[in-house]
Every structure is written in structure tokens, then in C-alpha cells.
Amino acid sequence: TTRSDIRGVVRREPEAGPAPVPRVKLVLLGDSGVGKSCLVLRYVRGQFDPNSKVTVGAAFMSHSVHLPDGTTVKFEIWDTAGQERYASLAPLYYRGASAAAVVYDITSKESFQKAKHWVSELQKNASGDIVIILVGNKTDLVELREVTPEDGQEYASRNDMLFIETSAKTAANVSEIFETVAKKLSGYQAPPAE
Ligand code: GDP
């Protein structure tokens, strides 16, 4: 009897209904003012409110992504609640995180530099196999752009991160942040073109 036979017998369980939906902790990082809260509110509630600093009642918000291959990924999206002002976050914030979105503001070179600080914070505090997406937000502010898409893409590629540019204001690419991460986490492969 081979090992795999034994494992197969021991591991086999009676029909247990649909597989449980994996819960994925995704932490938001980035300088204060880059639009982290606005991105989450745009994604979870479909709203953009430039004036209200919304108090999130819970520590995180949940939202599911349904991929075309039938996979569902349920995100727990953690916002910093302003704690990033202290330059580092409590270890609890990172604990158990499978994914992170590091956000900067494309109209602020400084926020792009700070994104690099947050990437190194992640490398210190999170587990090694975390999926990271670099997010350049506020693409609607075309005239004020200071960071090119090429700058963002180049930094992301060099550090093995995904990359996307978004606008929480116009909703451009916001749900794609989470879809892109869900695809990476689940090993999704696009069906071959017809
Ligand atoms: P946080 O501190 O990173 O959570 O940033 P907020 O979500 O509080 O946003 C900071 C400011 O940027 C607010 O005044 C928002 O209205 C503004 N903001 C956020 N996202 C966008 C965007 O995509 N476009 C524009 N024009 N403003 C944005």
C-alpha cells in the first residue's frame, strides 16, 4: 500500500456540502490622506463622500468577490482608523493578513515615497507569503499627477507586488483591486481566449 493510498483513505470525509468560503484578511496601508477609507467605502457601499470621515463601527468590513470560475473569496478589509499617523501599526494589525493594499496618492511624490516605508513595515511584520498590491489612487486629478504609472509599475514589479491605479471618486478600478488580489490568492487562471 502506498502512502498516498493511506492518506486518501484516512482523509476522505463524507459529503460535507459546499466547501467553506475562505476568509481572507486584507490590510490597508499608506500615508494619511491618500484615500484608504474612501476606497473601502466606494467598494463596500458604492459611495464617495469627500467630507465625511466615516467612523467604521467594526474593526473591519467584509465583502465577497465572486470570480468567473465560481471561486468566492470573502475579504475582511482592515482600515488603519488613522493609526498610520504614528508611522507604524500594532503587530495585531498585520496578524493573520494574507493580503495587503499599499496605497499612495498619484498627486503626491511624498506619498509614493511613504508607500515604500509601508512596504518595509509589511516585510517586517507580516508573514512571508502575503500578496501585496500597490495602489496609486486619485487618477481623476489628472492635472495634478506627480507619479507616473510607469514609476508605480516599476516599483511594484521589482518588489513582486501587483499594481493598479484607481479613483475612489469616479470608482475607476476600485473593485479591480480586490478582484486582482482574489485571483492571485486563488491561483485563478483566465480561460483561454476563444
Ligand atoms: P485616508 O486617510 O487614507 O483614509 O484618506 P481618506 O479616505 O480619508 O481621503 C483623504 C482625502 O482624499 C479626502 O478629502 C477624500 O475626499 C480625498 N480622496 C480620496 N480618494 C480620492 C480620489 O480618488 N480622488 C479625489 N479627487 N479625492 C480623493
Instruction: Give the tens place of pLDDT for each residue, 25-60.
Output: 999 999 999 999 999 999 998 989 876 555 554 468
CA 165 to centroid of ligand 1, rounded, Å: 14
User: Which grid coordinates are listed for 101?
Assistant: 493594499
Q: Is the dihedral of CA 28, 138, 145, 158 positive or negative?
A: positive
CA-wise closest residue to 165 among 132, 131, 145, 135? 135
CA atoms within 13 A on the CB side of 88: 10
Q: How large is the ipTM?
A: 0.99
Among the residue ranges 15-19, 80-84, 174-178, the one predicted with the least confidence is 15-19
Which atom of ligand 1 is nearest the CA belonging to 141? 26
* CA of 31, closest atom in ligand 1: 3
CA of 44 to the centre of ligand 1 (A): 15
What phi, psi does 62 have (nearest 5°)?
-105, 145
- Provide the phi-psi class of 78: left if phi over 0, else alpha when psi is between -120 and 50, else beta: beta
* Of 46 and 134, more confident: 134
Single out the residue of 66, 42, 63 nearest to residue 54, CA to CA. Answer: 42
Residue from 135, 107, 139 nearest 119 by CA: 135
Grid cell listed for 178: 480586490
What pLDDT digit, counting tens, does each position of 98-133 carry?
999 999 999 999 999 999 999 999 999 998 889 999
